[in-house]
Structure formats: structure tokens, C-alpha cells
């Protein structure tokens, strides 16, 4: 077996509307509806599925908790410009730009929280 890529990640959230607004407005993701009215956020060929904390979708998910995620998204362009765009959207950067090591080696990152206090990392690899 060889894993190719991440397809989707599930975030448990307190407020679907607030989360959808944040990721669409701040990060430019696309809101999508699937299944029996479930919500997700698509970016590129991947997505974030959203589970409302007060309505568990899958009883096998034992410890789904809002604010427990920590994930990194690779962005295009200059990281300082990306950081400025995030700040213009009213989101404070809590760290960065800083040097980090990602799946493909050295990268530069900024960090901030989403409305549920999931830690979001945006990063760029050197060209």
C-alpha cells in the first residue's frame, strides 16, 4: 500500500455557520453540501468535513471535540502577504512567520486559531 494524499479531514465545531463564514471569508474555501445536508469546505482537491458538536454524525467517533485539531495547509504566494491578508480579515496571527519542517522538508509558517480554537498553520515551501 502507498498513501497518495489526504482526501478530507473532519472538524467538530460548535457553530456551523460561524465556521463556514470563517473558512470561506478568511481562507477562500468553498462551502459545499453533501449527503443528507452535511456541510464541508472544499479547497483544491481536498475538503474539511464539518460535524456539529451537538449532533454527532458517527457514534464511533469517541472523542470528537471542538478545538482539538492542529493542521497545516500549504499556500501559494509570499507568506508575508498571506499573513497580511489573514490580519486584514481580523484574525490575529499567534506565531510567525517561522521556520518549520513539513512533509517535504523546510518551510515557513504562520499560525492562528479558527473560531473553535483549532490551530491552523499556513505554510509555504521555498521555490
Domain annotation covers residue 2? no
Domain annotation covers residue 1? no
Q: How many domains does the chain have?
A: 1
Domain annotation covers residue 80? yes
Answer whether residue 60 shows pLDDT above 70.
Answer: no
Domain interval for residue 65: 8-124
CATH of residue 62: 3.10.180.10
Confidence of residue 121 (pLDDT cuts 50, 70, 90): very high
Domain annotation covers residue 115? yes
The residues facing 11 across adjacent strands are 50
H-helix segments, 1-127: 16-27, 79-88
DSSP structural state of residue 72? E
Domain annotation covers residue 78? yes
Long-range pairs for 102-111: beta carbons < 8 A, 24 or more residues apart = 102/72, 102/74, 107/74, 108/79, 109/72, 109/79, 110/79, 110/82, 110/83, 110/86
Convert the pLDDT of each residue in 90-112 to its tens digit: 999 999 999 999 999 999 999 99
Domain annotation covers residue 120? yes
Active site residues: 121
Of 24-28, 39-43, 57-61, 108-112, which range is least confident? 57-61
Amino acid at each position: 500500500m502507498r498513501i497518495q494524499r489526504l482526501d478530507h479531514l473532519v472538524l467538530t465545531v460548535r457553530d456551523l455557520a460561524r465556521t463556514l463564514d470563517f473558512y470561506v471569508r478568511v481562507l477562500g474555501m468553498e462551502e459545499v453540501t453533501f449527503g443528507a445536508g452535511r456541510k464541508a469546505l472544499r479547497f483544491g482537491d481536498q475538503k474539511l468535513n464539518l460535524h456539529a458538536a451537538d449532533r454527532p454524525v458517527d457514534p464511533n467517533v469517541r472523542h470528537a471535540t471542538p478545538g482539538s485539531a492542529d493542521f497545516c495547509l500549504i499556500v501559494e504566494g509570499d507568506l508575508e502577504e498571506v499573513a497580511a491578508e489573514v490580519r486584514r480579515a481580523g484574525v490575529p496571527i499567534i506565531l510567525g512567520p517561522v521556520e518549520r519542517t513539513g512533509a517535504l522538508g523546510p518551510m515557513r509558517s504562520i499560525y492562528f486559531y479558527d473560531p473553535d480554537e483549532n490551530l491552523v498553520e499556513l505554510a509555504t515551501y521555498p521555490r
